[in-house]
Structure 1
């Protein structure tokens, strides 16, 4: 809105992209910092507490009186920053917002059911995937419909080159996997204080950098990214995610005063997936989001191996609980996962090789 008013008044201050990136980050950060204590206090008052898995690590029982659904803080601050600083005529912004709010609504209903029935199951898993799938397929259909003039799109292969694939069932299936897979991967990772939010910050920074560069055709000719007209507006949105996540981390760091819940993890994961699709960087997401992949694979392996051998590979899945049960402190696990995530971000940036 400030961007549009600035254009209308012909001041041109907020036409400068770097200004809007910085202000978007700072605004979402300070919104969380300011309203966070009030939200935490209110959630405690209405006993909006996290439901702890009965089969989880025993040390997690002390968290049972910690408020959840802090993802609402994240959503509010991101949306305010988007409204203030993004070009609302840019269709890419609305694609991401649709996933952010749509997945956030599903996560909100999931959290509500957990709190109401005081268990960690939430929505029926089939219904949860059904609604996530409906939202994903709908937005992918809209994107493909708006690209009818193009017979193919670029898919950037890290460390290699760009390849062209037709907009067909493969592209739809790949995009679907990215959206649903990333949202659930972040959800699985969000099991320790601050564990999931820092990788989200790193990935958002990586995509924000790519979005900033990808609308300059000269730069795109030298590095391994696609030229996408007006995609640099996504860098403002990525900065809003970074600022909001940093503001939330202020309260989510060990010992957490609030958890993001499914409303936060599903919406953030889905948003990262959508940004990767819009930037043609679905494969880069696998590298930079390696922590999320690692957590998800650990769950899949645990289930498959148990069904076949009736034994467990890990003491508990996702993998961060395995290390907890082995006696490693929560803080140590979290910080080491952050370090790995930062290294994966650097590897991802390196993969945008110079020609």
Structure 2
């Protein structure tokens, strides 16, 4: 809204020459972050009170960790605050004619809507184990993945088909191969499913998922700025993605909303993001990674989420189902660390540190290529 208004006034008269600021990505990114954090701060306390009044509280789910019992009864659905902060910020500062932004918002809203359905089902049924079925969840995730992949390499691709289907790896300047559109579409579907569920599995301790998410989206925002700029992308040998710079504004809004949410989600949490937040974050993260051609960077940048997802899947699919026994004491990773007697706050902060280090390594790939 303000982006469009600024450009309208700029065309109207030279008196409004200061409105050209809205055309600077850095200016809009800073204001987008501030808008999102103010939104979350303004609405968090009323939202928490409303969740208490409506009895929209977290439902206990057995994890084998004693401290989990202390968390039942904490308000959930906090992901609405994160999504609301990003969306309100984008309404003011986003360029809604930009296809990169529309894809990113679509991913966040679709997965956030799924998460809301899952959270509401658990609340209504009074059990943390009785939400949306795994089959339904995977089906809905796959539906979006297929639609997104079809649009990205098909009729609504903002890039040429060869560029859109190119596969890039960290520390190497050129695409390692260009996949057939159908094969790349299948890769996108699998990637989006994996990333969204990885974030969902990580959200198990106070503040654990949100801070690594800020690292990931912050770094992706920097990549968006580089790849959307002809000078920087050419200097660093990245493909120039016309319009991708708008994801810098989106990433900044996400960081602002996440920081505001962390204020209330840090130990002891006053509110949980629920699947509404974790799936929305994972969906946005996956879509932005694909849009920026940084899918293969995610194992480094989102290494914590990868470790959490793999530990859970190895435990469940290989250990329990195939071998008939546990491979780890507990899964995912954060529960395994708790089982060893490490305090929750120490587990969370140490995993934050690891995630921050991985983000720095990912940033180093900008130059080390």
> Are residue 130 (structure 1) and residue 144 (structure 2) matched?
no
Distance (whole Å) between structure 1 residues aligned to residue 127 and residue 157 of structure 2: 44
> Are residue 240 (structure 1) and residue 248 (structure 2) matched?
no
Deviation readout 1:166-189 (Å, 9 max, x if unpaired): 442221122112211111100000
Deviation readout 1:51-79 (Å, 9 max, x if unpaired): 12124311111111100010001111100
Closer/same/farther in 2, CA of residues 167 and 308 from structure 1, 3 Å limit = closer
Unaligned runs of 5+ in 2: 11-18
Partner of 1:147: 157
Are the counterparts in 1 of residues 171 and 368 from structure 2 also a CA contact under 8 Å? no
TM-score normalised by structure 2 residue count: 0.93
SS of structure 2 residue aligned to 1:58: coil
Closer/same/farther in 2, CA of residues 67 and 149 from structure 1, 3 Å limit = closer
Deviation at 1:297, TM superposition (A): 0.6
CA RMSD of aligned residues (A): 1.4
Match 1:195 to one of 208, 211, 215: 208
Partner of 1:118: 126
Closer/same/farther in 2, CA of residues 190 and 148 from structure 1, 3 Å limit = closer
In the TM superposition, what are the counterparts of 1:291-306 in structure 2 within 5 Å?
291-303=304-316, 304-306=318-320
Deviation readout 1:246-283 (Å, 9 max, x if unpaired): 00000000000000000100011110100011100001
In the TM superposition, what are the counterparts of 1:196-235 in structure 2 within 5 Å?
196-235=209-248
Deviation at 1:224, TM superposition (A): 4.8
Are the counterparts in 2 of residues 315 and 322 from structure 1 also a CA contact under 8 Å? yes
Aligned length: 355
In the TM superposition, what are the counterparts of 1:2-81 in structure 2 within 5 Å?
2-10=2-10, 11-81=19-89
Distance (whole Å) between structure 1 residues aligned to residue 230 and residue 324 of structure 2: 55
TM-score normalised by structure 1 residue count: 0.97
Distance (whole Å) between structure 2 residues aligned to residue 162 and residue 194 of structure 1: 37
> Are residue 86 (structure 1) and residue 104 (structure 2) matched?
no
Deviation readout 1:138-161 (Å, 9 max, x if unpaired): 121112122398341232210123
Are the counterparts in 1 of residues 152 and 158 from structure 2 also a CA contact under 8 Å? no
Range with greater deviation from structure 2 (294-303 or 168-177): 168-177
Distance (whole Å) between structure 2 residues aligned to residue 128 and residue 214 of structure 1: 33
SS of structure 2 residue aligned to 1:259: coil
Partner of 2:16: none
Distance (whole Å) between structure 2 residues aligned to residue 167 and residue 259 of structure 1: 41
> Are residue 347 (structure 1) and residue 356 (structure 2) matched?
no
Deviation at 1:213, TM superposition (A): 1.2
SS of structure 1 residue aligned to 2:351: helix
